[in-house]
Amino acid sequence: MIGIDWGTTSFRAFRVGRDGEIRDRRMAPKGILNVPDGRFGDTLREEIGPWLAAGEDRVLLSGMIGSRQGWKEAPYLPCPAGAGELAGALVDIGFDWARVKLVPGLSGIDSSGVAEVMRGEETQVLGVPPLLRDGGVACLPGSHSKWVRVEGGRIVNFTTHMTGEAFAALRGYTILGRMMRDGPTGGAPFDAGVARSADPGGLLHHLFGVRALALADRLPESDAPAYLSGILIGHEVRAALAAAAMEQAAGMVVQVIGAPELTMLYAKAITACGGYAERHDGEAAARGLALVGEHAQWG
């Protein structure tokens, strides 16, 4: 089977054996925003043509490729949902070279009844064995970080935090960015930002403090990006851990899934905020897609 995590900016394909092991992988900067004129079928054939020629004929897609801006919109499936429910809601895609299906995203509501949606993260969560076996909490860092609760092998609810996008906007389009230059992404400045997120005053007050500290020559401009990142991630982590404790999730161990540079920062913040983190790479998506594929009716 071929599993593909097709997001906004990137395309990641995995050739998965019947034993669930990843046999081969391909990556390309061909997210849905980078495919000209909606030529998703042509792009798919270009990227996985050799695997199709070798006999693979089942392809499972997840991520923003199933959004309104993607190949075909796959309606959101409401929580709770696991591999079986996702497999039962797959959307067929017309493709001459193989049987192609889309994994639907998930929808839910937060504790105040406000809508939540995700696309792609659900397959990554299902690719982490401890979550399926024991339940618990997962964190998927990114532009729109997700915190996901799993019970009985099913995703029961989740929340989204626009931390990564907020960091980019604050650095690129506000006065804070004028007092920053490139420097280390972690280290002591990041730790200081995480610690600051525990102080009284709230996020908006803490954000202005980045500028004030720089003006007072107490924060070097090369340290300011990491300090800002620590503040934002610290606020996110504290809010999410508090919510997880209120929902009586399975302990305070957080399964952090994603790119190593981001999972490292989040693991540091989670530990500093009183939790415990276990890190997993982004190839959890391949294992989750394989699991959904096992439940699918391919015809």
Q: Which amino acid is at 74?
A: A
- Fold of domain 163-280: Nucleotidyltransferase; domain 5 (3.30.420)
Decide if pLDDT at 43 tops 90: yes
Place 141 in a pLDDT band, splitting at 50, 70 and 90: very high
Convert the pLDDT of each residue in 107-137 to its tens digit. Answer: 999 999 999 999 999 999 999 999 999 999 9
Domain boundaries, the chain: 2-129+287-295, 163-280
Q: Residue 79: which residues within 8 A CB-CB, separation 6 or more?
A: 106, 107, 108, 154, 155, 156, 157, 158
Place 94 in a pLDDT band, splitting at 50, 70 and 90: very high
Q: Write the CATH number of the domain with boundaries 2-129+287-295.
A: 3.30.420.300
pLDDT for position 213: 97
For the ranges 169-183, 246-260, 277-291, the lowest mean pLDDT is seen at: 246-260
Give yes or no on whether 2-129+287-295 and 163-280 have one common fold. yes
State the virtual CA torsion across 250, 252, 255, 258 in degrees, nearest 10: 140
81, exposed or middle or buried, with CB in 10 Å at 0-12, 13-18, 19+?
A: buried
Decide if pLDDT at 14 tops 60: yes
Give the number of residues written for the chain: 299
End-to-end CA distance of the chain: 14
pLDDT for position 234: 98
54 versus 185: the higher-pLDDT residue is 54
pLDDT for position 185: 86
Q: Residue 212: which residues within 8 A CB-CB, separation 6 or more?
A: none
pLDDT for position 246: 64
pLDDT for position 134: 92
Q: Which whole number is the average pLDDT over 96-109?
A: 96
Q: Which amino acid is at 190?
A: F
Decide if pLDDT at 251 tops 80: no
Rounded distance, CA 43 to CA 97, Å? 12
Rounded distance, CA 218 to CA 95, Å? 59
pTM: 0.94
Convert the pLDDT of each residue in 79-88 to its tens digit. Answer: 999 999 999 9
295 neighbors 87 (Cβ within 8 angstroms): yes
Crossing angle of helices 224-246 and 203-215, rounded to 10°: 160
Q: Which whole number is the average pLDDT over 34-46?
A: 95
pLDDT for position 115: 98
% of the chain residues with pLDDT over 90:
91
pLDDT for position 247: 60
Decide if pLDDT at 248 tops 70: no
Q: Which whole number is the average pLDDT over 68-81?
A: 97
Decide if pLDDT at 156 tops 80: yes
Give the side-chain half-sphere CA count within 13 A for 124: 28
% of the chain residues with pLDDT over 70:
98
Q: Which amino acid is at 178?
A: R
Q: Which whole number is the average pLDDT over 144-149?
A: 97
Convert the pLDDT of each residue in 278-292 to its tens digit. Answer: 999 878 999 999 999
Beta bridge partners of 4: 13, 61
pLDDT for position 250: 45
Average model confidence (pLDDT) across the chain: 95
- Which token pair is 190? 């990041």
Place 78 in a pLDDT band, splitting at 50, 70 and 90: very high
